[in-house]
Structure 1
Amino acid sequence: MKDYKKAVQYIEFLKRTYGLDITIKDYKGFVYENEEMEFSLRPYLAHTNPYCMYVKEKEESYNKCLNNNKELIEECKRKDYFFHICHAGICELIIPIKEEKTVFGSINISHFDLYPDKTKKAIELTFEKERREEGKRKFKIFARSAYVESSTLIPSLELLSQYLLLLIQKVPLNKEQQEELKEKQLRAYIKNNISKKIVADDIISNLNINRTQLNTLIRTKDVKNLRDYINTIRIEMSEKLLLETKKTPKEIALSLGFKGYRHFENIFTAKLNISPKDYRKYYKNEKYY
């Protein structure tokens, strides 16, 4: 409990010092994996200022708040911090809680009066006519602009994000999370050894798992066996190389551990219904790859 109290004390310090509303968004369910963490962070899991509560009185607006999470997660994967205006006009500074590309949550700080025109338009669109004036009144009173420059605030919030990540990492993973982590490690091992002959015994030894666990990791991936799983990853990597490099298909085949070009061509065509040469020809200049 002591570690979680420190996090809460720091959150409250930032709120008092800079006049902030701070929300901890949980995208992975990590808060509920530990009773002490849930008890400590529960007060910060939702926007509870009167303006936001007024917005969420309507089911449609509440659902928009929930649907906002998907967009935030994708942004969190790409950026270390960013500003975001929600559908109701609140402008937040978002600090991801993440490890590489795995986003556990985010620290959302509001309100920043950076885009007044967008905020005004969002408020107009959020409320029907009979609720609009009250919505504007509550926004003016309760969505007060933070009196601090974001450049001053960001280092403190990144420190809080890292501390929360450490607390998350200390919580034992559930079975689903453990399998997800092991599957990432499996893919990483295969990619790092892609040009070599990869056998089950080496994977088991390096990942510290048994054969049953290995079979569990690959059986839900729509593949026949370990060899098919490895070849699927090889084909994924070959697509990128065909489109982004000038290597010949034969060079790509050998660099990815195929026996030769014919072997590569047969597997590529079987999986994608197109030959490597035609794939490069048709998709090389497409923007969406």
Structure 2
Amino acid sequence: MQTIQSLQRYLFELSNTYDATICIKDFTGFMRQDKAIFQALSPFENHTSAYCNYVKSNKKCYRECLDMIPKILRKCTETRSTFSGFCHAGSFEYVIPIMDGENILGAITFGGYASNSPPKNKNHHALAERHPELDESLLEQLYLKEPALPDEQHISVVLRSLEFIASYLGSLGNGYCATENTAKLLTQPKQKQEDVLVEHALTYIKMHVTEKICIEDIARYCNYSSSYVSRNFNKVVGMNINTYINKLKVEVSKTYLITSNKTIADIAEIVGFEDLSYYSRVFSSFLGIPPAEFRRRFT
């Protein structure tokens, strides 16, 4: 448990340091074998930049995003090593396969970077042509705000770290047989309705994690009733929405505790806790120690 929490913290630090989006794609369900692993890595399930969120706000574009998943799996199966490329919307990222022996269990994606020269068929202009209901000027504005690719020397160091992490995650598969699930993914890329709903809910939560979030706002974003969202979120994620929100806020606050000199009161406010005492109680309920003790141990 301590190892997976340290891994989560390191992934947050990598994301912050290199202004990158890190996603862990689970092709086979291997992460769901262990509830602690699934909950620790769930903050890395989706792309949540402003550009990606606007693209996914269009249902047809979102379908194209989902269709990238089996393509990534095929490429992982072919290369069995790190590769890079552009998504359908022009974001550049690296992909590191997660393998258990011969089986491809998943992949780590690292990036979400803008490029001055994306492929002609994979950029915001082409996207706007395919989907004229999108605002091309807003697409361009959001794309240009995406971070620029770091220099090659820094990237090579990051990729080595991510390849080590992928190897570790692959070992957690513990011989998990991926054949049946992989075949289903290759031939049937569609997600269940509740999975898509929860992905939308997670996206909203991550977009607003430092704000006060209520179930009604999430339900409006997902276009479902509050009770339906709550029931399916609990079913898929394994915890209720308020618990997940507080857990994610605590995880974000841990990065601030380790990497900044901000006061604990300031950090509590930054991540959306209006009351310092309540933040300390929530923090302790998840980690067993208060924020001050956590900072003392890990800095």
Q: What's the TM-score bracket when you normalise by the shorter of the two chains?
A: 0.5 to 0.7
Residue 31 of structure 1: CA displacement? 2.2
Measured in 1, the distance between the counterparts of 2:179 and 2:15 equals 38
Distance 1:82 1:42, change over 3 A: same
TM-score, normalised with respect to structure 2 = 0.53
Indicate if the aligned counterparts of 1:85 and 1:91 stay in contact, CA closer than 8 A.
yes
Distance 1:137 1:33, change over 3 A: same
Residue 140 of structure 1: CA displacement? 1.4
Measured in 2, the distance between the counterparts of 1:11 and 1:161 equals 12
1:144 to 140, 144, 147: 147
Indicate if the aligned counterparts of 1:26 and 1:104 stay in contact, CA closer than 8 A.
yes
Residue 20 of structure 1: CA displacement? 1.8
Measured in 2, the distance between the counterparts of 1:114 and 1:137 equals 13
Map 1:128-277 → 2, pairs under 5 A: 128=132, 131-141=135-145, 143-149=146-152, 150-169=155-174, 173=176, 177=177
Deviations, residues 172-219 of structure 1 (Å, cap 9, x unaligned): x5xxx4996xxxxxxxxxxxxxxxxxxxxxxxxxxxxxxxxxxxxxxx
Indicate if the aligned counterparts of 1:25 and 1:107 stay in contact, CA closer than 8 A.
yes
Question: Counterpart of 1:136 in 2: which secondary structure?
Answer: helix
Task: Give the letter aligned to residue 139 of structure 1.
Answer: Y
Residue 33 of structure 1: CA displacement? 2.1
Deviations, residues 133-190 of structure 1 (Å, cap 9, x unaligned): 111111111x2123242323221111111121223328xx5xxx4996xxxxxxxxxx
Identity of aligned residues (%): 26
Indicate if the aligned counterparts of 1:85 and 1:119 stay in contact, CA closer than 8 A.
no
How many residues align? The count is: 175
Task: Give the letter aligned to residue 125 of structure 2.
Answer: E
Task: Give the letter aligned to residue 2 of structure 2.
Answer: K
Question: Counterpart of 1:16 in 2: which secondary structure?
Answer: helix
Distance 1:32 1:121, change over 3 A: closer
Measured in 1, the distance between the counterparts of 2:7 and 2:16 equals 14
Map 1:19-168 → 2, pairs under 5 A: 19-79=19-79, 80-113=81-114, 116-118=117-119, 122-127=123-128, 128=132, 131-141=135-145, 143-149=146-152, 150-168=155-173
Hey, what does 1:242 align to over in structure 2? none
Task: Give the letter aligned to residue 116 of structure 1.
Answer: S
Residue 6 of structure 1: CA displacement? 1.7
Measured in 2, the distance between the counterparts of 1:74 and 1:13 equals 29
> Which consecutive unaligned segments of at least 5 residues does structure 1 have?
181-289
Deviations, residues 85-117 of structure 1 (Å, cap 9, x unaligned): 111001111111013431111110113456714
Measured in 2, the distance between the counterparts of 1:57 and 1:64 equals 12
Deviations, residues 27-66 of structure 1 (Å, cap 9, x unaligned): 1112222211121111100101111110001111111111
Question: Counterpart of 1:169 in 2: which secondary structure?
Answer: coil
Hey, what does 1:184 align to over in structure 2? none
Task: Give the letter aligned to residue 62 of structure 2.
Answer: Y
Measured in 2, the distance between the counterparts of 1:164 and 1:115 equals 34
Runs of 4+, deviation exceeding 4 Å: 112-115
Question: Counterpart of 2:94 in 1: which secondary structure?
Answer: strand
Distance 1:179 1:155, change over 3 A: closer
Task: Give the letter aligned to residue 40 of structure 2.
Answer: S
Question: Counterpart of 1:110 in 2: which secondary structure?
Answer: strand
Indicate if the aligned counterparts of 2:51 and 2:143 stay in contact, CA closer than 8 A.
yes
| More contact order relative to length (CA 8 Å, sep ≥ 6) | 2
Distance 1:99 1:123, change over 3 A: same
